[in-house]
Structure 1
C-alpha cells in the first residue's frame, strides 16, 4: 500500500511529465521514468507510466493526418522496436536494477546533449530500408532496459525531414509501439508481480498526466518553445548525471 506522500509524489511527477509533453510533443515517459526512478525500482516506475504513456501517445498518433502512410513507411522500424523491447525488458528486473538505473541516466544525458546541441543529420532515402529496422531494434533495447523511448528513435525520425504534423504523428506511432511492447516485456519477465495493483496505479496516474498535457498545450501557444526546450534538456542532463552518479558512487 503506497503512502499518501508517495501518491502525492507520483501525481506531481505525472503532472510535470504531461506538461512537458504538452509543450514539446514528447517526453512524458522520459520525465516520469527519470523522476520516479529516484524513489523506486525502474521496473515499478515503468509499470506506472504505461497507461498515461499509451493514452497520450495514442491521442497524438490518431489525431495526425498520415496514419496509413506512416505505418507503411515505418513498419520495419516498429517491428524492430517491438522485438528489441521485449528482448531487453529483463534488464529492468531483479539484479539488473542498478544497471538499468545507470542506463536510464546515460540515455537521459545523451538525449539532453543532443537536444542542447541541436544535433541532427539527414538520412538518405536510399538507406532508409536498412536503417529503419536497425534503429528500431536499438530503440527497443534501450526501451526494454531503461523504460525510455527516445534514443535513437527521435533523432532518426527527425532526420527523415518529415513535415511538422507527420513528425508528431510518427513520434506518436513509435512511442505507442514502445509502450505496448514494454507492457508485454514486463509481463513476460514477471516484473508485474501484482498486475492489478500496478494497473490501478497507472490508471490513477492518467488524470494528472492529462491535466499536465492540456496545461502544456495552452502554455505552448503563449511562450517560446525553444526557451522551454533549453530548460527541459538542461534539467534532463542534470537528472541523468544524478542517476548515473547514484550507481557509480
Structure 2
C-alpha cells in the first residue's frame, strides 16, 4: 500500500477518533464514509474492523450498566448478528457495486435524522418485541455498508436509556455487530496480512484522535460540534451517492 494511502488512513482515523472522543460515537461511520471516497466499502471495512472492535470494547466496559444493557438489548443484538450473517454476500457479491450508493444514502438519512432531533418512544412492554426486527434490519444494512447506526440508534434512544448508559450501550452493541462483520470479512477473504499495517496505523491514529477529542470535550460545546458533524455527514453521503450514480449510469 503506497505511503500517501497510509497517510490518508492515518488522517481519516485521527478525525474519526476525534469525533468519537467528543460525542461518543461515529468512528466506523466517519471512517468508512471518508475511505469510501477512495476505495470500495468492503475494503474500507477491512481496515476499520480492528480499531472499531478495540475502541468499542474499551467503551463497553467504561461504565456500570453492562448487566442492564445486556438484559434489555439482547434481542436487538441477536437480530443484528442474524441480519449480518444473512447479508454476508451483499458487500462482496454481485450487488457490491451498489454498496457505496447505499452507504451514501444511509449517511444522508443518518445526518437528517440527527439534525431533526426527532425522538420516538417505545414502551418497556414492547422494546424486546421490537428489538429483534430492528436488529435484523440493522444487520442487513450493516452487512451491505459496514455502518450499524440505522435503525439501531433511534431505537436505543427511543427506549429511554440515560446518557451515560446510552454511551456504554453503543459500545456493547457496536462490539457485537463489528465482531459479526469480522466473520463476514473473514469468509470473503478480506481480512489478511495485507490489512495488518493499515489496521495498525488506523488503530494508533484512532486512539490519538479519541484522546484529543476527550481532552477538548469540556471546552467545546458538544451540540454545536454535533450539528456541524451531521451537516458534514450529509454532504459526504450526498457526494458518495451522486458519484456512484454517475459511475453506474452516467
TM over 0.5: yes
Equivalent in the alignment of 1:243: 240
TM-score, reference length from structure 2: 0.95
How far apart, in 1, do the equivalents of 2:25 and 2:14 lie?
Answer: 14
Where does the alignment leave 5 or more consecutive residues of structure 1 unmatched?
none
Match of 2:218 in 1: 221
> Which residue number in structure 1 is paired with residue 137 of structure 2?
138
2:67 alignment partner in structure 1: 68
Aligned to 1:79: 78
* C-alpha separation in 2, matches of 1:42 and 1:95: 14
Question: Tell me, what secondary structure is at the counterpart of 1:148?
Answer: coil
1:97 maps to which residue?
96
4+ runs deviating over 6 angstroms:
none
* Structure 2, unpaired ranges of 5+: none
Deviation at 1:191, TM superposition (A): 3.4
CA RMSD of aligned residues (A): 1.1
Which residues in structure 2 correspond to 1:41-190 (within 5 Å)?
41-190=40-189
Q: Deviations over 1:9-46 (max 9, x none)?
A: 00000000000000110000000000001101111100
| 2:16 equivalent in structure 1 | 17
Q: Deviations over 1:197-235 (max 9, x none)?
A: 213421221000000001011111101101001100000
Separation in 2, partners of 1:134, 1:62: 26
Provide Cα deviations, 1:20-74, integer angstroms capped at 9, x if missing partner: 0001100000000000011011111001001111111111111111111211221
Aligned length: 246
- Is 2:6–2:201's contact at 8 Å kept on the other side of the alignment? no
Contact 1:93-1:191 at 8 Å conserved across structures: no
